[in-house]
């Protein structure tokens, strides 16, 4: 739904993600160097959602975005489906 | 790399998939009703690759394509990265 930088971090983005639940989840992700906010907000991507929440820079992260990355590439897993759809 | 129907099955497609290994793998997937061969061959998608091979219709399947599906949608997990890249 939205993405914004995290003050004091060059790596982290703070995402607000609609998983089809009552409220969106806050997700912290170290992808700020690889993707622009403009290319992220409004897209549908794959996440791991069944992990314990983690704290980063004092902020809670309630899921983990999935990505493939290497020296010269970075790719999210783009989907075209309703928010909260399960991957099998 | 390629996709083709499986004789005698309305559900299965037989895929040849480049995972950056010495040889491509053969993957059988029950997605024939949801996606056309034209929309599949040449794309980069996410697979689960660390499962035991399975046999379907007498053919070996050496990985599993990842997808989200429901009554009125079907989505693969599209990526933009070299073949064989790991998702984390």
Predicted confidence pLDDT, tens digits, chain B (88 residues)? 999 999 999 999 999 999 999 999 999 999 999 999 998 988 999 999 999 999 999 999 999 999 999 999 999 999 999 999 999 9
Q: Is A28 helix (H, G, I), strand (E, B) or coil?
A: strand
State the smallest CA–CA distance between residue A32 and chain B in angstroms: 16
Chains A and B: how many Cβ contacts under 8 Å? Answer: 68
What pLDDT score was predicted for residue A41? 86
What pLDDT score was predicted for residue A39? 87
Q: Which residue of B has its CA nearest to A80?
A: B75
The fraction of chain A above a pLDDT of 90, given in percent, is 95
Mean pLDDT over A62-84 rounds to: 96
Interchain CB distance below 8 Å, B85 and A75: yes
What are the chain B neighbours of A74 within 8 Å (beta carbons)?
81
Interchain CB distance below 8 Å, B80 and A85: no
| Per-residue pLDDT reduced to its tens digit, A47-70 | 999 999 999 999 999 999 999 999
The beta-carbon neighbor of A87 closest among B68, B78, B85 is B68
What pLDDT score was predicted for residue B31? 96
> In terms of C-beta density within 10 A (0-12 exposed, 13-18 middle, 19 or more buried), how is residue B3 classed?
buried
Q: From edge to edge, which strands make up the β-sheet containing B25-29?
A: B2-5, B13-17, B25-29
The beta-carbon neighbor of A85 closest among B44, B68, B87 is B68
Secondary structure string (H, E, C) spanning chain B = CEEEECCCCCCCEEEEECCCCCCCEEEEECCCCCCCHHHCCCCCECEECCCCCEEECCEEECCEECEEEECCEEEECECCCCCCCCEC
What are the chain B neighbours of A78 within 8 Å (beta carbons)?
77-79
State the smallest CA–CA distance between residue A85 and chain B in angstroms: 6
The Cα A63–Cα A48 span in angstroms is: 6
Residues of A engaging B, defined by a Cβ cutoff of 8 Å: 46, 66-70, 73-82, 85-88
């Amino acid at each position: 739904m939205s993405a914004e930088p995290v003050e004091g971090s060059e790596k982290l983005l703070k995402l607000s993600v609609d998983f089809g639940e009552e409220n969106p989840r806050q997700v912290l992700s170290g992808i700020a160097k690889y993707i622009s906010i403009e290319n992220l907000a409004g897209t549908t991507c794959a996440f791991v959602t069944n992990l314990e929440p983690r704290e980063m820079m004092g902020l809670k992260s309630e899921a983990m975005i999935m990505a493939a990355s290497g020296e010269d590439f970075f790719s999210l897993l783009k989907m075209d489906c309703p928010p909260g759809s399960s991957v099998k």
